[in-house]
Homo-oligomer: A and B are copies of this chain.
Amino acid sequence: MAKRVSHRDSMCGVARPLDAIGDWWSLLIVRDAFDGLRRFGEFQKSLGLAKNILSARLRNLLAHGIMETVPAADGSPYQEYVLTEKGRGLFPLLVALRQWGEDFFFEPDEAHVLLVDRKNGLPVRRLELRAQDGRVVGAEDTMVRLPAGKGIA
C-alpha cells in the first residue's frame, strides 16, 4: 500500500490510479464485483486468496472509494461489498485487459471466455481510441500535452 511514487509521478495521470488499485488482486476483486459477487466469502472462494489479504485489499478499495459496503441485501446480517461509480469506471480498463489477453495469451484454437452483448449474445467490438474527428488513432498518433511544461510526464 501507499507505494512510493517517483519524483515526477505526483503529476502523472497513469501512476496515480496505479497507487489506488495497488496490486492485481484488487483488480481481480473488481472484476468479480462486475460479475455480481458481493460477499467476502464469494470473493475468497472465487479468487482463492488468503482471508487476511482479501481483508486488506477490500479495506484498501473502500478507502479509495472504489467499493463501498452496503448493510444487507438478502436479509443476512452481514455487509456486502459493491462497486461505487468510481469502481464502475474501471470497466473499460478491464475490457482493455481482457482484449489484450485474448490477443496474446491464448492459442488460436484455445477456447476462452468471450465478452458478449447481453441483448443478442454477440461479442462486443474491440476498444478503439478515436480522435475528435472520429479517426481511429494508435499510440503513434497521440502524444501527451503538458499543462505547464515540466517533465515528459
Minimum CB–CB distance for A108 against chain B, Å: 14
On whether A145 and B121 interact (CB within 8 A), knowing A13-B113, A92-B96, A93-B93, the answer reads yes
Q: Across the interface, do B142 and A13 meet the contact criterion of CB distance under 8 Å?
A: no
On whether A13 and B101 interact (CB within 8 A), knowing A116-B143, A144-B113, the answer reads yes
Nearest CB to that of A3 among chain B residues?
B24
Q: Across the interface, do A113 and B147 meet the contact criterion of CB distance under 8 Å?
A: yes
Other-chain residue from B89, B98, B99 in contact with A100 (beta carbon distance below 8 A): B89
Minimum CB–CB distance for A153 against chain B, Å: 6
Q: Across the interface, do A124 and B142 meet the contact criterion of CB distance under 8 Å?
A: yes
On whether A88 and B6 interact (CB within 8 A), knowing A111-B147, A123-B132, A144-B116, the answer reads no
- CB contacts (< 8 Å) of A34 on chain B: these are 139
In Å, the complex CA distance between A101 and B19 comes to 10
On whether A48 and B7 interact (CB within 8 A), knowing A100-B90, A101-B14, A116-B144, the answer reads yes
